[in-house]
């Protein structure tokens, strides 16, 4: 009897905690932010596929370009370039490298490597964010330029890392700002794993266009 009552108390406390979180996210506009982000994510995916198809058909044969890219640059050099890009604010669109994967002898392996390097780049960006706090000029510049993003990260924490991992936004920026506010690294590691899902979805979409 006592065990049952204890279980009920635990369940009641959990329910109360979930309810408080729900009210908090509803009050701060987190649900609307997620919904708007998901809607915005669908459009870029469709545009990427349509854009690749039209460009390949009417402008330039993408397959020839990717083949040249594969023959000109080594896999190691391309992966290093991608890792650096994914660490420094995602300067080069990952879609270019995903399309390159399709032209290689082991596309799935290379796609998995891209996802891993993108994930690792985000973790490095996190520590760069923490390190940047030691430089007053950099700290002030980033806080001014990224004030809104910093505010949302403080407010919604790991969910914003998840959004950065899934949606067509520079993952490194989310991780950089997480480091700047000293968000727990273990949460960044866990939520960042959704980066692999993002590459799987984009890989499926782009592989269906590239021959």
Instruction: List pLDDT tens digits, range 95-140.
Output: 888 888 888 889 999 999 999 999 999 999 999 888 887 877 766 7
Nearest to 51 by CA among 110, 95, 103, 114: 95
Q: Is 79 exposed, middle or buried (0-12, 13-18, 19+ CB in 10 A)?
A: middle
- Crossing angle of helices 158-166 and 147-156, in 10° steps, is 120
- Please count the other Cβ atoms lying within 10 Å of the Cβ belonging to residue 189: 14
Instruction: List pLDDT tens digits, range 127-176.
Output: 988 888 787 776 676 566 656 656 655 666 666 677 777 766 678 888 88
Whether the pTM exceeds 0.85: the reply is no
What's the gap between Cα 115 and its chain centre? 10
Q: Judge whether 176 and 192 are in contact, CB under 8 Å.
A: no
Q: Judge whether 187 and 158 are in contact, CB under 8 Å.
A: yes
Structural domain boundaries in the chain: 49-207
């Amino acid at each position: 009897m006592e065990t049952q009552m204890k279980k009920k108390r635990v369940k009641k406390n959990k329910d109360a905690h979930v309810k408080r979180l729900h009210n908090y996210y509803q009050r701060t506009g987190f649900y609307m932010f997620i919904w708007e982000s998901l809607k915005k994510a669908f459009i870029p995916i469709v545009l990427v596929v349509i854009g690749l198809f039209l460009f390949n058909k009417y402008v330039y044969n993408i397959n020839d370009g990717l083949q040249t890219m594969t023959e000109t640059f080594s896999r190691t050099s391309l992966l290093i370039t991608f890792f650096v890009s994914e660490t420094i604010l995602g300067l080069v669109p990952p879609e270019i490298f995903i399309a390159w994967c399709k032209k290689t002898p082991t596309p799935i392996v290379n796609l998995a490597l891209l996802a891993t390097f993108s994930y690792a780049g985000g973790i490095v960006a996190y520590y760069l964010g923490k390190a940047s706090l030691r430089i007053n000029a950099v700290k002030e510049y980033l806080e001014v330029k990224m004030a809104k993003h910093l505010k949302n990260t403080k407010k919604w924490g790991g969910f914003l890392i998840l959004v950065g991992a899934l949606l067509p936004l520079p993952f490194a920026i989310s991780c950089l700002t997480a480091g700047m506010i000293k968000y727990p690294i273990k949460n960044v590691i866990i939520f960042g794993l959704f980066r692999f899902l993002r590459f799987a979805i984009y890989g499926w979409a782009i592989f269906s266009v590239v021959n």
